[in-house]
Amino acid sequence: MIEVALLGTGGMIPLPNRFLTSLYCRINGRYIMIDCGEGTQISLKILGWGLKNLDVICFTHFHADHILGLPGLLLTIGNYGRVEPLYIIGPSNIKNIVEDLCSIAPEIPFELIVIEQDYFTENIFELHNFSIDILPVDHSLDCLAYKINLPQKGKFDLKKAESLDLPKPFWSKLQCGENVEYHGKIFTPQMVLGRERKGIKICYCTDSRPTDEMINFVRDSDLFVCEGIYGEDEKLDKAILKKHMIFSEAATVAQKANVKELWLTHFSPSMPHPEEYLSFASDIFANTIVAHDRISKTICFSDK
């Protein structure tokens, strides 16, 4: 399962009652963060999920409202005694940006492994038992959408295992995904597992205009977190000008991509009550939630 929370739901400016948009995911006790604006660490402290096992911070792009909180977060993590390396991934040039920002935080006591999108193999980053896909999207500067994938192995098939010429103590290794060599023969997990089951997919797209590639990228995801900078359709021109999306556009992507649930976020500071515009999205895609800070959800495997 994946536990997911939005640390903030604002765009551009952090407000007293609305932090900037940032996603936080817990998978088997490890954490992934996407975007970290000014104040994100405060919201995380309120949420109370902890920081110790944060493995990866992903950045969509280099506008201040998505990345300015990084040095403060890294220093706070350092204060908590971290020594293991931490991955930072994002668009081209992220190494320089992180270096510039960390000029005021030179004493971070752990290694940062910064990976630019160009160094991804087939746009996929893998760690532990999950993977993260990226997709370049259409904003006013280089910007990435993210997809977090948690695959689910097939069920253990007792009959298959019993049919192998392999003692029982080795079965759990195969079940955990490891190969086993026994009496000169290689046994693979597939030999004891049933068909691979549907995993969990969470997608995060902000800031961008809608694109066909985005629809394909988020297809069939369990949760689609998407920007909706303005609620009303009347503000489409303004959104186009600034390379953002309005509620109805995000809902159209959700509907075309057949996602299970849509969370709208990254609201303009000019929109103090985004929930008033829910119908602009829900008329197109019913399972829409106008998100609020620290909304959270546990997503379980549906294929049992």
Considering only CA atoms, give the Rg of the chain: 21
Residue with tokens 């109370």: 48
d(CA 7, CA 4): 10
Pick one of 2, 4, 7, 14: the residue that binds a second copy (CB under 8 A). Answer: 14
Task: Output 50 or 194, the one with its CB closest to a second copy.
Answer: 50
**295 is an interface residue for a second copy by CB under 8 A:** no
Closest CB 63 distance from a second copy, rounded Å: 7
Which is nearest to 23 in space by CA: 244, 295, 245, 298? 295
Residue 91 binding a second copy, by CB under 8 A:
no
Restricting to residues 103-122, which ones interact with a second copy according to CB under 8 A?
A: 103-105
Q: Which span sits near a second copy by CB under 8 A: 100-108, 152-160, 231-239, 247-255?
A: 100-108
Tokens of 287: 């399972």
Binding-site size for a second copy (CB under 8 A) equals 31
Please report whether residue 296 would count as binding a second copy according to CB under 8 A. no
Minimum distance from residue 15 beta carbon to a second copy (Å):
7
41-60 residues near a second copy, rule: CB under 8 A: 41-42, 45-46
Using alpha carbons, select from 198, 195, 192 the residue that is nearest to residue 154.
195
Nearest CA-CA partner of 21 in 288, 297, 266:
266
Which residues make Cβ contacts (< 8 Å) with residue 4, sequence separation at least 6?
23, 24, 25, 26, 202, 223, 296, 297, 298, 299
Q: Which of 4, 12, 137, 229 binds a second copy (CB under 8 A)?
A: 12
Q: Does 69 bind a second copy (CB under 8 A)?
A: yes
Q: State which of residues 65, 207, 222, 249 lies at the interface with a second copy (CB under 8 A).
A: 65
Catalytic residue among 35, 55, 65, 138: 65
Q: Is position 79 an interface residue for a second copy (rule: CB under 8 A)?
A: yes
**68: contact with a second copy by CB under 8 A:** yes
Picking from 72, 75, 25, 34, the residue whose alpha carbon sits closest to that of residue 53 is 25
Q: What is the DSSP string of 195-216?
A: SPEEEEEEEEE-S-B--HHHHH
Of all helices (H) and strands (E), which one includes residue 131? strand 130-136
Tell me how far, at minimum, the Cβ of 45 lies from a second copy, in Å: 5
Pairwise CA distance, residues 161 & 209, whole Å? 50
**Residue closer to a second copy, measured from CB, 103 or 121:** 103
65 flagged as catalytic: yes
Q: Do residues 277 and 21 touch, judged by C-beta distance below 8 A?
A: no
Residue 255 beta carbon to a second copy: minimum distance, rounded to whole angstroms:
33
Does 100 interact with a second copy (rule: CB under 8 A)?
Answer: yes
DSSP 47: H
Minimum CB distance to a second copy smaller for 64 or for 286 = 64
Nearer to a second copy, 102 or 164 (CB): 102
Strand partners, 58: 34, 89
- What one-character DSSP code corresponds to residue 111? -
Binds a second copy (CB under 8 A): choice among 11, 72, 91, 274: 72
* Positions marked catalytic: 65
**Residue ranges in contact with a second copy by CB under 8 A:** 12-16, 37-39, 41-42, 45-46, 62-65, 67-69, 71-72, 75-76, 79, 96-97, 100-101, 103-105
